Structure 1
Amino acid sequence: MDSFGLGHQHAVESDAPTPSRWSPSADQLPSSLTVLTGPTHGPVDLPLHLAWSGLRTFDLDDDKLLLGMYRIVLTTGLRDDYIQFLDGNLLTSHWPRLRKMVGRDVRKAWEGTFPQLRLYTGWAAA
Structure 2
Amino acid sequence: MSDVAQPGDTYGWMISYVVPESLDLLQGPTAGAVELPTRLDWTTNNRYDLGNRDEAIGLYNRVISEASTQADLTEFLNGDVLLALWPQLHLPRRCTALWVEAFPELAAGS
Query: The TM-score by the shorter chain falls in which range?
Result: 0.7 to 0.9
When Rg is computed on C-alpha atoms for both structures, the one with the higher figure is 1
Per-residue Cα deviation, 1:11-38 (whole angstroms, up to 9, x for no partner): xxxxx722633351xxx32110011000
Cα distance in 2 for residues equivalent to 1:37 and 1:85 = 8
Q: How does 1:41-52 map to 2 (within 5 A)?
A: 41-52=31-42
Q: TM-score, normalised by structure 2?
A: 0.85
* Aligned equivalent of 1:114: 103
* Aligned equivalent of 2:21: 31
1:105 equivalent among 90, 94, 97? 94
Cα distance in 1 for residues equivalent to 2:103 and 2:16 = 15
1:93 equivalent among 66, 84, 98? 84
Contact 2:3 2:14 (8 Å CA) reproduced: no
**Residues 1:21 and 2:18 aligned together:** no
Cα distance in 2 for residues equivalent to 1:96 and 1:23 = 22
Contact 2:41 2:62 (8 Å CA) reproduced: yes
Cα distance in 2 for residues equivalent to 1:114 and 1:76 = 19
Q: Which runs of 5+ in 1 are unaligned?
A: 1-15, 122-126
Cα distance in 2 for residues equivalent to 1:71 and 1:23 = 15
**Residues 1:80 and 2:65 aligned together:** no
Report the structure, 1 or 2, having the larger helix content: 2
Q: Which runs of 5+ in 2 are unaligned?
A: 5-12
Contact 1:41 1:60 (8 Å CA) reproduced: yes
Cα distance in 2 for residues equivalent to 1:113 and 1:23 = 15
Secondary structure of the 2:108 match is helix
- What is the letter of the counterpart of residue 18 of structure 1? D
RCO higher in structure (CA 8 A, sep ≥6): 2
Give RMSD over aligned pairs.
Answer: 1.4
| Number of residue pairs aligned between Structure 1 and Structure 2 | 101
